[in-house]
Amino acid sequence: MKYRIAVIPGDGIGKEVMESAIEVLRASDAPLEFIEYEAGDEVLKRRGVALPEETIEGSKEADAVLFGSAGETAADVIVRLRRELKTYANIRPAKSFEGVKCLHHDVDIVIIRENTEDVYKRLENEITEDIIVDLRVTTKEAVERICRFAFEYAKERGRKKVALVHKANVLKKSDGMAKRIFYEVARNYKNIVAEDYYVDAASMFLVMNPQRFDVMVMSNMFGDILSDLASGLVGGLGLSPSANIGDESALFEPVHGSAPDIAGKGIANPSAMILSAVMMLEYLGEKERAERIEKALRESIKEGLTTPDLGGKLKTKEMTEEIIKRL
Ligand code: ATP
pLDDT of residue 122: 83
146 pLDDT band, cuts 50/70/90, is: very high
Backbone φ, ψ for residue 112 (5° rounding): -110, 115
- 134 catalytic? Reply is no
State the pLDDT confidence band at 262, using cuts at 50, 70 and 90. very high
Which stretches of 172-290 are assigned E, i.e. beta strand?
193-198, 215-218, 241-246, 250-254
Q: Which amino acid is at 293?
A: I
Asked if residues 220 and 115 have their Cβ atoms less than 8 Å apart, the reply is: yes
266 pLDDT band (50/70/90 cuts)? very high
Kind of pairing between the strands at 161-166 and 215-218: parallel
Of the residues 242, 256, 262, 269, which should be mutated to test ligand 1's pocket, given the most ligand atoms within 8 Å of the CB? Answer: 256
- The answer, yes or no, to whether any atom of ligand 1 lies below 6 A from the CB of 276, is no
Closest by CA to 96, choosing from 222, 216, 278, 232, is: 232
Instruction: Judge if the beta carbon of residue 309 lies within 6 A of ligand 1.
Output: yes
Q: 69 alpha carbon to ligand 1 midpoint, in Å?
A: 10
| Pairing, β 161-166 against β 193-198 | parallel
Three-state secondary-structure class, residue 89: strand
Write down the mean pLDDT value for the chain: 96
Least confident span in 121-125, 131-135, 157-161, 261-265? 121-125
Any bridge partners for residue 161, and if so which?
193
> 99-122 pLDDT, tens per residue?
998 989 899 999 999 999 999 888
Domains and CATH numbers, the chain: 1-90+241-327 (3.40.718.10), 103-234 (3.40.718.10)
Instruction: Say yes or no: CB of residue 263 within 6 Å of ligand 1.
Output: no
pLDDT digits (tens, 9 = 90+) for 38-88: 999 999 999 999 999 999 999 999 999 999 999 999 989 998 999 999 999
Residue nearest to atom 31 of ligand 1 (CA): 238
